[in-house]
Structure 1
Amino acid sequence: MLNPVKHLYLHVPFCPTLCPYCDFHVLTRTSGMVEQYLQRICEEVQHQAALYPVDLKTVYFGGGTPSFLRDAEMVHLVESVRSGLGWGQEENTLEINPGTVTLERAALWKDLGFDRASVGVQSLNDTTLKFLGRQHNAQQACKAIEILLEVGFRVSGDLITAVPGQHLQEDIKGLSELGIDHISAYTLTIEEGTEFYRRGVQVREEDEREGFELTAELLTQQGFERYEISNYARPGAHSRHNLAYWTNQHYLGIGPGASGHYPTSRPNLLSQRITNPRLYDWLKMPFTERDIEDIAPADFVTDALFMGLRLKQGVDLALLTRQSGLDVLERYQEPLQKHLNKGLLTLQEGVLKATEEGKWVLNQIITDFLLRDAEDAEDSGA
């Protein structure tokens, strides 16, 4: 008997424009495409409901720009989810572009059952926003947050750091003073295939490091807790949905390009990651034809370490041993000791945490754990 899945991510791929730094699965809307998308979502919801027991605690509509959907389309989308899977009992988040917010629309989103807004502010400097290809200005961002707070949303603001010429102190101060209780601060990365990549835009490592450290320093001074590498919250305002990702819990992934982490009853596996194809294939391919990654115990451990070490609370190795059936301390003794000695990890009372320096090089740390698994697979002839 599978345990109920408690979290749902739904992907809305449509955007008003395509930002030059974005490498998510997004596209502008075309005639009839949203209607096809909405119909296919209904079908996928019913398919998922038939496969997995569900008792939703959190729902997250991400994108893309979910708030770009017209009011009737948003109503349709929410009703499709509610009818097939229910609704989150603890937290329901809608990603919002500042330029889509009006008092009437915010009230509708609240009435539909969303209680948390994740707003793509990115900066409060108009020059920086223009460089990032954003269609809103700083005044619109401030007004949008004001409206969302007035309607009763818990509000999180997204911030991009390490942007060439950015006045980061002003962005952080301005954002923290708007009355929001959560800030997600991500370093600008130039991904292959994006407009920035084609233009040859570069981000200097010293700017990345400065933004990484300065954001933590300034937001901590403003009363925010850094509970995850890139996420800061006032007391009680942590993102419950995102914590499900970072603690390696199961969640449904619905919509084109969406990925989910699912329970399975297959022997020798702990779970599966299933990823949907992009929109045009997603519209026509059977739901049984998806990219499926089987999660064996060793995969589960490295996933849990990679995500859990991003958290301030770290990873309880005794719990991870029980979950995976592997003795984590024994199996990964060599990479653990290496990074403990280097001061990149700490281990106290069975809880493994990344130090401040360790958070900066977390990918390198996890690579050593993966190499340990590769050696084991080679020894076993797999």
Structure 2
Amino acid sequence: MPALDPTAVRHLYVHVPFCPTICPYCDFHVLTRRAGLVERYLERVEEEAARLAGEYPVDLDTVYIGGGTPSFLRGAEVTALAGSIRRHLGWGRLENTLEINPGTVSPDRAGLWRDLGFDRASVGVQSLDDATLRFLGRQHDARQAREAVTTLVGQGFRVSGDLITAVPRQPLESDIRGLVDLGVGHVSAYTLTIEPGTEFARRGVTVEEDDERAGFERTEDMLTSLGFTRYEVSNYARPGQESRHNLAYWNNRTYLGLGPGAAGHYPGGSGPVLTTRRTNPHLHEWLAGEPGEVQPVDAEEYVTDALFMGLRLREGVDLADLTRRSGLEVRERYAEPMAANIRRGLLTLTGDQLCATPQGWWRLNQVVADFLEAEDPRRIDHFQA
């Protein structure tokens, strides 16, 4: 086997913005489909994929198609999307994920997705309780969710199920046990968050911190007792079922972002710039070819990004590796905030491995703010915005 190119980008995120309906808690870039819009989207994907292939060395380990609701695409549409990716950028040698809404699953559609090369399904279950699903504004019911997961497991997918916690009157334990009993190997459990501008925010829906904390802790207790490992703040997996694509984010690796609103972390730069983060504009501007936001990343920002993401992981951050990648002597540069947070019981340092404690996970924003303040107090406002 030929040696892998050490400079190549190994991960690709593709954003599909179309959804059947907009959930009241959602603040992603999503919209309902209209005549001709998906066709224009697919044409633009083809163009952008070709451009990315010409600008960067690409040798993909993972592909992740998210949204939105990628599984909402019709058979010919998802086939065209996968074809554009393969023609210009290749396909992931380790993992290829499709985000799936339970209401879009049938045996024939699951078979098509499998034939196209997807081997991992991230299913937006959210709950297995009908009252909770109605509160969340989901269009599927518990029966559809169970049938969808069962179908995908039966088709041989590695299946991850999403759950939302801290929902009023949610039967959380029943949700968790029911999802595990369906055969998933991975669970992503996210606290209900009320973002500005969402329907829930306009209604005045709130989430109590005590409920958030209780859901946070009960989810870990149950899933670990059922054989899952909490390998990231919100993610649990059976051995070997971790999301390889998302691990690239948490380890601050480079990746391509394709589609409207998609973010990417790109290699290369000049002078003090190590990498570049780019975020594509929303659909209509993206269709018109308008450029997105570009943020050069210098060594200091690279380190704090790596700490913010890496401390979410159970294994934490290898400071020697981060020093090598950034060119900064991380232990010396950030000795004071590290020591302060170790004293508070929020971090541990064993050899070169810096990890957050369970209490540190709960207060991770404050931990990272301490590192930012040591670097440049002006960055705290940006971080908290």
State the TM bucket, normalised to the shorter chain: over 0.9
SS in 2 for 1:310: coil
Name the structure 2 match of 1:195.
199
From 300, 303, 321, the equivalent of 1:301 is 303
SS in 1 for 2:15: strand
- Alpha-carbon contact 1:67-1:100 (below 8 Å) kept: yes
From 186, 191, 201, the equivalent of 2:190 is 186
From 17, 34, 38, the equivalent of 1:30 is 34
CA distance in 1, matches of 2:116, 2:177: 32
Name the structure 2 match of 1:380.
none
- Alpha-carbon contact 1:2-1:52 (below 8 Å) kept: no
CA distance in 2, matches of 1:139, 1:97: 13
SS in 1 for 2:349: strand
- Alpha-carbon contact 1:2-1:264 (below 8 Å) kept: no
CA distance in 2, matches of 1:366, 1:68: 37
CA distance in 1, matches of 2:47, 2:13: 16
Q: How many pairs are equivalent?
A: 375
SS in 1 for 2:61: strand
SS in 2 for 1:270: strand
1:1-382 pair list within 5 angstroms: 3-286=7-290, 289-375=291-377
Aligned identity (percent) is: 62
CA distance in 2, matches of 1:198, 1:21: 10
CA distance in 2, matches of 1:43, 1:243: 28
CA distance in 1, matches of 2:46, 2:271: 31
CA distance in 1, matches of 2:201, 2:289: 31
Could you tell me the TM-score, scaled by structure 1's length?
0.97
Residue 2 of structure 1, CA deviation: 8.0
CA distance in 1, matches of 2:56, 2:271: 17
Could you tell me the TM-score, scaled by structure 2's length?
0.96
What's the CA shift string for 1:101-150, capped at 9, x where partnerless? 00000000000000000000000000000000000011100000111111
Residue 348 of structure 1, CA deviation: 0.6
CA distance in 2, matches of 1:152, 1:17: 29
- Alpha-carbon contact 1:275-1:292 (below 8 Å) kept: yes
CA distance in 2, matches of 1:323, 1:252: 19
Residue 6 of structure 1, CA deviation: 0.2
Residue 78 of structure 1, CA deviation: 0.4
**Letter aligned with residue 292 of structure 2:** R
- Alpha-carbon contact 2:269-2:276 (below 8 Å) kept: no
What's the CA shift string for 1:260-314, capped at 9, x where partnerless? 000014221110001000001000034xx22110110000000000010000111
SS in 2 for 1:24: coil
Q: State the 4+ residue runs in structure 1 displaced beyond 4 angstroms.
A: none
CA distance in 2, matches of 1:2, 1:341: 38
CA distance in 1, matches of 2:377, 2:48: 39
SS in 1 for 2:249: helix
What's the CA shift string for 1:159-181, capped at 9, x where partnerless? 00000111111111111111110
CA distance in 1, matches of 2:292, 2:69: 24
**CA distance 1:36–1:174, shift in 2 (3 Å):** same
SS in 2 for 1:145: helix
CA distance in 1, matches of 2:177, 2:29: 31
SS in 1 for 2:273: coil
Q: How large is the RMSD of aligned CA atoms in angstroms?
A: 1.2
- Alpha-carbon contact 1:49-1:84 (below 8 Å) kept: yes
**Letter aligned with residue 302 of structure 2:** F
CA distance in 1, matches of 2:24, 2:317: 36
CA distance in 2, matches of 1:178, 1:24: 28
CA distance in 1, matches of 2:294, 2:314: 31
- Alpha-carbon contact 1:2-1:53 (below 8 Å) kept: no
**Letter aligned with residue 262 of structure 1:** Y
SS in 2 for 1:7: strand
What's the CA shift string for 1:328-380, capped at 9, x where partnerless? 11111111111000000000111000000000000011011111111599xxx
SS in 1 for 2:307: helix
